[in-house]
């Protein structure tokens, strides 16, 4: 415990180097821009910029990329409140009360509340990471292949159980991801599989290409279909409004705490920031005394989803760091980055790469403080980005996506694959197939398969290896509960004669 605190201070020293501080500011600014622009989000923004970091030290690289993530989380709120356009899926719930507040001329209050509660949520999650991640990693050091596979099993089952999409659609897109990840060289036997003689498929489908295509190109196609026109409210944010709102916010400490807990829970189990923000909003609406006024511009309706979204987005890094299982697509891209920089994500990271891990954790504290200052002072600047018409922004985003896809392997075939993934993403999104599990499956495919095959090898093919010890059976049972969660919930509520109130968000 005390050793960890010492490590953390060492981490702060790493982050405080001038070069790393500059990267942090650059990352936050890029992140906010990425969060504000439609078609560019945290995940594909990081995927596009990942190749630029190949020449940096891993610690500097992760500081910049994670700061893009924090920036994107902040940026989503700006467009939701001022333009009623969620820049990111997790800020959809923020539009419900944020935009009405802006219409009433209280944009400044809404923005301050959103940024501050984002900060609180993130800070809470970082503290959780600081305290819990080393313990989890320490515990996970004892894991053998069956345990590792059972953790993957639990992660993917939680997707099925917690997703609001039909379970078989989640399973279909997840398994398709595993299939795509398996194409190419087999890691265990060195055999080629499913390439059908196409040379380009030797290396399989890189998840970075999938991320850029599914989230970047797909998103632009969706935006084009809706024919967006931006009509925003004017952003004015002066110190007086900020201080006034800050004076008001401590009143909602209970709401904040609850949203933090919801966010952390949803972030660690790979449900992610988007459901966390909806859930937090829904619960706040039900519990609050002013709940019936939600949707007309209540400050609580901004605090709840923003706190939860940030807590979830940040805590998604906990399982990524300590177990090697990312809690969100963006965390998955960061995990991919670790692999490219030559680091093995998972429990060993905490013992073998102390500088890296604690530098990252320290940068989470600093990055969120720097981020809060930057967004509070530069809102009008960022909002003016949306004044640039879509017919200029769209091709420029396309160009950046193409560059990002090319630089992954210096391969023009990947750029074409990106467009194919983009079309697939458009259709899947429109027909409610969730994309996040697919991306996570492509990233983790090889590792999950390896763990699965090694377990089977040890047991000579018997599936009983997954029930062989108390630990592995517990995780598997948790996984099964998560898998059938909605079924269990429905049965339970039927038995109790309760009718589940639908969340107001849907």
Partner 1 sequence: MNDTVHDTGGTGPSHRSVEIGVAVAMAILALIGMYGSAKVGIGWGAEGPRAGFFPFYVSLIVLISCVVNLASVFRKPSDGRLFAEWGQLRQVGSVLVPTAIYVGLVPYIGIYVSSALLIAVFMRWFGRYGWPLVLAVSIIVPILTFVTFEIWFLVPLPKGPLENWLGY
Given the complex with partner 1, which of 304 and 424 has the nearer CB atom?
Answer: 424
The answer to whether residues 444 and 174 touch, using CB atoms and an 8 Å cutoff, is: no
Angle, helices 273-287/300-315, rounded to nearest 10 degrees: 150
Total residue length of the chain: 506
Give the span between the Cα atoms of 38 and 91, in whole angstroms: 12
List the alpha helices (DSSP H) in 386-435.
Answer: 390-409, 412-430
Which one of 5, 427, 490, 500 is in contact with partner 1 (CB under 8 A)?
427
The answer to whether 188 contacts partner 1 (rule: CB under 8 A) is: yes
The interface region with partner 1, picked from 304-312, 331-339, 413-421, 465-473 by CB under 8 A, is 413-421
The answer to whether 480 contacts partner 1 (rule: CB under 8 A) is: no
The answer to whether 503 contacts partner 1 (rule: CB under 8 A) is: no
**What binding mask, one character per residue, do residues 207-236 give for partner 1 by CB under 8 A, x or -?**
----------x--xx--xxxx---------
Instruction: Tell how strand 192-193 and strand 184-185 pair up.
Output: antiparallel
The answer to whether 172 contacts partner 1 (rule: CB under 8 A) is: yes
The answer to whether 295 contacts partner 1 (rule: CB under 8 A) is: no
The answer to whether 402 contacts partner 1 (rule: CB under 8 A) is: yes
SS3 96: helix
Which one of 406, 467, 484, 485 is in contact with partner 1 (CB under 8 A)?
406
Question: Considering only CA atoms, which of 127, 107, 64 is closest in space to residue 263?
Answer: 127
| Least CB distance to partner 1 at residue 8 (A) | 31
Dihedral pair phi/psi, residue 193, rounded to 5°:
-145, 150
The answer to whether 238 contacts partner 1 (rule: CB under 8 A) is: no
Give the span between the Cα atoms of 357 and 344, in whole angstroms: 12
Which one of 96, 143, 452, 466 is in contact with partner 1 (CB under 8 A)?
452
Residue 208's Cβ-count burial label (10 Å; 0-12, 13-18, 19+) is buried
SS3 63: helix
Which one of 423, 471, 478, 480 is in contact with partner 1 (CB under 8 A)?
423
The answer to whether 250 contacts partner 1 (rule: CB under 8 A) is: no
| Least CB distance to partner 1 at residue 417 (A) | 9
Q: Count CA atoms within 13 Å of residue 288 on its CB side.
A: 27
Q: Which residue has tokens 């909602």?
A: 252
Given the complex with partner 1, which of 6 and 395 has the nearer CB atom?
Answer: 395
185 bridge partner residues = 192
| Least CB distance to partner 1 at residue 377 (A) | 26
Beta strand residue intervals within 80-226, DSSP E? 184-185, 192-193
The answer to whether 291 contacts partner 1 (rule: CB under 8 A) is: no
DSSP state, residue 235: P
The answer to whether 340 contacts partner 1 (rule: CB under 8 A) is: no
Binding site for partner 1 (CB under 8 A): 51-52, 55, 166, 168-169, 171-172, 175-176, 178-179, 182-183, 186, 188-189, 191-196, 217, 220-221, 224-227, 389-392, 394-396, 398-399, 402-403, 406-407, 410, 412, 415-416, 418-419, 422-423, 426-428, 430-431, 433, 449, 452-454, 456-457, 461
């Amino acid at each position: 415990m005390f050793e960890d605190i010492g490590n953390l201070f060492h981490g702060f020293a790493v982050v405080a180097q001038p070069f790393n501080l500059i990267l942090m500011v650059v990352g936050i600014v890029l992140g906010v821009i990425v969060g504000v622009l439609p078609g560019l989000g945290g995940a594909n923004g990081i995927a596009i910029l990942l190749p630029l970091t190949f020449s940096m030290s891993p610690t500097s690289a992760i500081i910049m990329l994670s700061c893009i993530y924090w920036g994107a989380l902040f940026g989503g709120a700006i467009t939701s409140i001022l333009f009623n356009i969620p820049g990111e899926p997790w800020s959809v719930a923020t539009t419900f009360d944020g935009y009405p507040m802006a219409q009433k001329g209280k944009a400044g209050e809404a923005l301050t509340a959103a940024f501050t509660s984002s900060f609180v949520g993130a800070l809470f999650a970082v503290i959780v990471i600081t305290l819990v991640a080393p313990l989890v990693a320490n515990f996970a050091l004892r894991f053998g292949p069956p345990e590792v596979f059972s953790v993957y099993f639990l992660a993917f089952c939680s997707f099925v159980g917690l997703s609001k999409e039909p379970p078989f659609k989640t399973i279909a897109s997840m398994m398709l991801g595993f299939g795509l990840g398996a194409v190419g060289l087999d890691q265990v036997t060195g055999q080629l599989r499913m390439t059908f003689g196409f040379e380009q498929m030797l290396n399989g489908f890189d998840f970075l290409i999938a991320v850029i295509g599914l989230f970047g190109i797909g998103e632009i196609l969706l935006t084009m279909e809706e024919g967006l026109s931006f009509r925003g409210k004017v952003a004015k944010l002066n110190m007086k409004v900020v201080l006034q709102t800050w004076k008001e916010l401590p009143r909602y400490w209970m709401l904040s705490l609850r949203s933090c807990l919801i966010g952390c829970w949803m972030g660690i189990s790979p449900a992610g920031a988007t459901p966390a923000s909806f859930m937090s909003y829904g619960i706040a609406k039900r519990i609050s005394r002013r709940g019936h006024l939600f949707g007309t511009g209540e400050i609580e309706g901004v605090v709840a989803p923003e706190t939860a979204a940030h807590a979830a987005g940040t805590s998604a890094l906990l399982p990524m760091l300590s177990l090697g299982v990312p809690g969100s697509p963006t965390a998955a891209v960061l995990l991919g980055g670790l692999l490219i920089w030559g680091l093995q994500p998972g429990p060993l990271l905490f013992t073998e790469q102390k500088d890296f891990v604690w530098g990252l954790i320290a940068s989470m504290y600093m990055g969120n403080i720097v981020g809060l200052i930057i967004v509070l002072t530069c809102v009008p600047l960022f909002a003016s980005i949306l004044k640039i018409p879509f017919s200029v922004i769209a091709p420029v985003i396309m160009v950046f996506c193409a560059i990002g896809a090319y630089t992954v392997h210096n391969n023009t075939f990947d750029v074409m694959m990106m467009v194919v993934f983009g079309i697939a993403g458009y259709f899947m999104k429109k027909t409610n197939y969730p994309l996040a599990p697919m991306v996570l499956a492509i990233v983790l495919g090889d590792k999950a398969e390896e763990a699965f095959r090694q377990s089977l090898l040890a047991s000579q093919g018997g599936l009983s290896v997954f029930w062989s010890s108390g630990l592995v059976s517990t995780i598997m049972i948790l996984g099964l509960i998560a898998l059938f969660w909605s079924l269990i919930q429905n049965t339970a509520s039927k038995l109790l004669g309760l009718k589940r109130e639908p969340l107001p968000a849907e």
